[in-house]
Amino acid sequence: MGEIVVTLPLPPLDVDALSPVVLDYADEVATILHGQQVPVGAPVHISARFYFLDRCKRDLDNGLRLLLDVISRCLGFDDSRIDELRVYRSLDRKKPRVEMHLMWNALPSHCAWCEPPPTRRATSGICNYHKMMMLQQVGERAGAK
């Protein structure tokens, strides 16, 4: 199991991949993540909490796409390897940012059986391990009948 826990700046609003603002953002993230890698082919689980100045000005999905493209490039993994993605919106009027927890070759971070959900209203999923265990138990019960 491996993991990276990091705080990154919010992605810019500009979605043109070749704009100077986006290229500067990619350079800043690359500097923060320098020297860290995700093993090739490893299944990846990501939890990202976006802290915005307010609720009105940003779409969660626009920043997410850019963030995933940049971190996958910086950490050397194909974003098709992301098996679980949890995204949350919060407010921080003083310090907008993204707090990211990235794990590989591990159980996901918010399985309802492994770990309590991050907030009371969160809808926790089930990790691959517990899903496999449940399917195995269902199969054993069906075979016993």
Residue-wise pLDDT for 98-137, tens only, equals: 999 898 886 555 554 455 444 444 445 566 666 676 677 6
**Alpha-carbon torsion angle 87, 92, 95, 99, nearest 10:** -20
- Classify residue 135: in a domain, yes or no: no
Domain holding 46, by residue range, is 2-109
Ranking 7-11, 63-67, 129-133 by mean pLDDT, the lowest is: 129-133
Neighbouring-strand partners of residue 7: 99
pLDDT the model gives residue 74: 94
- Classify residue 125: in a domain, yes or no: no
User: Is there a contact between 4 and 75 (Cβ–Cβ < 8 Å)?
Assistant: yes
Is pLDDT at 92 greater than 50 in this prediction? yes
- Classify residue 79: in a domain, yes or no: yes
- Classify residue 24: in a domain, yes or no: yes
**Stretch 74-95: mean pLDDT, rounded?**
89
Q: DSSP letter at 53? A: S
- Classify residue 89: in a domain, yes or no: yes
The domain that holds 32 is classified in CATH as 3.30.1330.70
In the chain, the number of structural domains is: 1
| Average pLDDT for the chain | 80
Give every strand in the sheet of 44-52, ordered side by side: 2-8, 97-104, 44-52, 82-91
pLDDT the model gives residue 75: 95
Q: How far is CA 135 from CA 12, 37, 45, 123, 139, in A?
A: 42, 33, 21, 21, 6
Which among 18, 109, 117 is positioned nearest to 69, based on CA atoms?
18
- Classify residue 123: in a domain, yes or no: no
**Alpha-carbon torsion angle 24, 26, 31, 34, nearest 10:** -160
- Classify residue 140: in a domain, yes or no: no
pLDDT the model gives residue 136: 74
pLDDT the model gives residue 59: 76
pLDDT the model gives residue 120: 44
- Classify residue 127: in a domain, yes or no: no
pLDDT digits (tens, 9 = 90+) for 37-56: 999 888 898 988 898 888 77
